[in-house]
Amino acid sequence: YPTTCRGCPLPQGEKVTLQPGDNISCRFTGSPNHVNKKQPPVAKINSTEDVLTLEKCLSAFTKNEILDVDNPWYCPACCGHQVAEKRLRICRWPDTLIVYIKRFLYHSKNAVKVDDEVLFPMESFSPGQLSGTHPHNFKSYDLTACMSHFGGVYSGHYVAHCKHPVTGKWHLFNDENISEQTLSSKDSAGAYVLFYQHKPSHNTELV
């Protein structure tokens, strides 16, 4: 349809709300002498101006949710719908923690890629705030691999950074090419999946 649909004209002065994936075009009807031939580029707008960290993302993901009268909780004890507060806590931590960063948002039939930079710790990641009633029952993790996506919703490229378990050196896996390369700050905007490994104690043997 993009080749045949000319779109819908917008009345002057009318407020329009754009959705992800929408396109807008402008037609200049004035004299060419009054139209700038070169327009400034459209600034890239992130979903937030604050610096995002992995800890902030986890706090937002596990934030308590109020289930009100419009979305009540079904209580198995009284067999009725009740207003409640939903909480998400982790009781037992795994040895390998895999974190997915939400990079793709879907609205109706449209999708958009989120390229916000998310800062994540490389060592000693301790998400103790998710341990519920046992705040000390958590593990400390080191980053061992990071998969990144660069591009848009319908096209792009995946690369992976992996840490050698013996030498401790980082390597970049880019299709069939493998090179020694550590993570950089630019990878924070493309990080998609993070792999954390529990830090073993000094008396634990590596099998």
Superfamily of domain 89-198: Cysteine proteinases (3.90.70.10)
- Tell me the per-residue pLDDT of 112-125, one tens digit each, with 9 for 90 and over: 888 888 899 998 88
The confidence score (pLDDT) of residue 47 equals 54
**Residue with the two structure tokens 């050196």:** 169
- Tell me the per-residue pLDDT of 104-114, one tens digit each, with 9 for 90 and over: 888 777 788 88
- Tell me the per-residue pLDDT of 145-197, one tens digit each, with 9 for 90 and over: 999 998 888 888 999 999 999 999 999 999 999 999 988 767 778 899 999 99
Our answer to whether residue 157 is catalytic in this structure is yes
Structure-block tokens of residue 100:
């997915």
Structure-block tokens of residue 180:
């020694």
H or E segment at 81?
strand 80-82
Whole-prediction pTM value? 0.68
Our answer to whether residue 134 is catalytic in this structure is no
pLDDT exceeds 70 at position 22: no
Assign 132 a pLDDT band (cuts: 50, 70, 90): low
C-beta separation of 160 from 146 below 8 A:
yes
Q: Which of 81, 107, 157, 164 is catalytic?
A: 157
- Radius of gyration from C-alpha coordinates of the chain: 24
Domain boundaries, the chain: 89-198
